[in-house]
Amino acid sequence: MTGATRLVRACLRQPVDRTPVWFLRQAGRYMAEYQAVRKRHSLLEICKQPALAAEVTITAAEKLGVDAAIIFADLLLPLESMGLDFEFQAGEGPVIHTPVRTPEAVARLRTDRAEDLSYVAEAIQRVAAHFRDRLGMIGFCGAPFTLASYMVEGGGSRNYIHTKTLMYRQPDAWLALLEKLAAVLREFARQQVEAGADVIQIFDSWAGALSVEDYREFVLPVTKTLVREVQSFGVPVIYFGVDTASLLPAMRETGADVLGLDWRVSLGKAWRELDYACAVQGNLDPITLFAEPELIRRRVRGILDQAAGRPGHIFNLGHGIVPETPVENVQAVVKFVREYGGEERR
């Protein structure tokens, strides 16, 4: 079985020869090869030059021996095409210079320039040509809520006060904002699928900030439509969030093929509570990668034991690899998954 087949079949809950494995942020600052490229280019330069983005993507996937490559890009790229400038400030993360906080600001956002994002599709084409079927090719985009939260807050946030204020007090503007985002994200995902993405992951990284009621009322409907539209391009969708234990049943209602689980839930219990109605991805704590290999092995084994060989598990972390993570420990996880992830196949 090739990596691409293994990944796509697992997304669709079909039996595979062994559990597929890849990592959130597998290309990043913890890897010397990435740092070397980063010394010469800014993050946005790497994203926007398909040859560089492809190189970074391929190098990381090959070094780790994973089953899938996730295209090197960033969640925030669509903001620029909608008319919002942003930058990455060292140590502070992304900063959006003019946050979107009024109906007028929402009305000004453009949705007719998704073509500007074609550099991501071009990078995917290069990676797909390199790996062919050997590895699965994962494209991605942000989810409407998480991208809206960056637009409204102007960056990362702790309490999402501006975001929730707009959501509660200007529900029409909020809906218009999510719909505009979804329109751009759909086209962005379409470009990526046409370029060779086998799977699209939709990152709703900060959905965990929402109550179940707010998620259902203000976020689920638009997200569900986006998931369905991306699936209509012919690929499975992985829907990912962090701190989502209480949201999982509502997130499942998006109809996503796979839900990302973080380490705060037990994979076995969460999957059972989802009635095994979707596949699951996860859920090692990324900070476990700082432990001794023996403990890492036990944790990997524990997660695979919980999945119990049931079709539809993709091994991953519960969130992205952080800087300073020892690369050899990430490689060790791949080895352990290969060792144990082929047992008990049904």
Q: Which residues are catalytic?
A: 25, 29, 38, 74, 150
Q: For residues 182 and 226, is the Cβ–Cβ distance under 8 A?
A: yes
Closest CB to ligand CP3: residue number = 205
Residue in 27, 151, 258, 279 binding ligand CP3, rule: CB under 6 A: 27
Q: Whose Cβ is closer to ligand CP3: residue 70's or residue 265's?
A: 70
Question: Between residues 188 and 340, which has the closer beta carbon with respect to ligand CP3?
Answer: 188
Cβ(314)–Cβ(271) below 8 Å: no
Distance in angstroms (rounded) separating the CA atoms of residues 290 and 292 = 7
Helices and strands, counts by H and E, the chain = 16, 9
Nearer to ligand CP3, 170 or 331 (CB): 331
Q: 184: number of CA atoms within 13 Å, CB side?
A: 30
Residue 163 in contact with ligand CP3, rule: CB under 6 A: no
What is the C-alpha separation between 209 and 266, in angstroms, rounded? 20
User: What mask of x and - would describe binding to ligand CP3 in positions 67 to 96, judged by CB under 6 A?
Assistant: ---x-x-xxx-----------x----xx--
Distance from CA of residue 53 to its chain's centroid?
17
Q: Which is nearer to ligand CP3, 147 or 270 (CB)?
A: 147
| In contact, 300 and 268? CB cutoff 8 Å | no
Smallest distance from the beta carbon of 209 to ligand CP3, in angstroms?
12
CB of 114 to ligand CP3, least distance (A): 18
35 versus 232: smaller Cβ distance to ligand CP3: 35
Alpha helices in the chain (DSSP H): 3-11, 32-40, 43-48, 50-64, 77-81, 103-108, 118-131, 144-153, 161-169, 171-195, 212-214, 220-232, 248-252, 267-273, 293-307, 327-340
> Is residue 203 within the footprint of ligand CP3 (CB under 6 A)?
yes
Q: Is 139 in the site for ligand CP3 (CB under 6 A)?
A: no
Q: How far is the CB of 45 from ligand CP3 (least distance, A)?
A: 11
Give the footprint of ligand CP3 on this chain (CB under 6 A).
Answer: 24-29, 38, 43, 70, 72, 74-76, 88, 93-94, 140, 156, 203, 205, 320
